Amino acid sequence: MGLVNAVEAIVSNLYEEFQKSYEIKCGCQHCKEDILALVLNRIPPKYTSSEKGQLYIKTLYLNPQLQSDVMRELMRAALIVEHNQNHVVNEGG
């Protein structure tokens, strides 16, 4: 399995949920990765080298407060990326 930051999968999954309730102005892969990077830089990593450890870390994130914290960081990051996009927006569609 190797060394894995289990928080990456958790944040990625919560990003999908976040998109359902918040309309992101640009949904391109670049902006998505910028949002995820901002969130992951603000949330403590949880590294593991086994599937058992990964499952344990994921159960920690079933805690509603931790989910709320991640969602708050997703909102913060989405607003930052929307106002500071690293690419030209094609207004012609």
Reported pTM = 0.83
**Helix H or strand E encompassing 70:** helix 64-83
Q: How confident is the model at residue 72 (pLDDT cuts 50, 70, 90)?
A: very high
Beta strands in the chain (DSSP E): 4-5, 47-48
Q: List pLDDT tens digits, range 23-54.
A: 888 889 999 999 999 999 999 998 989 989 88
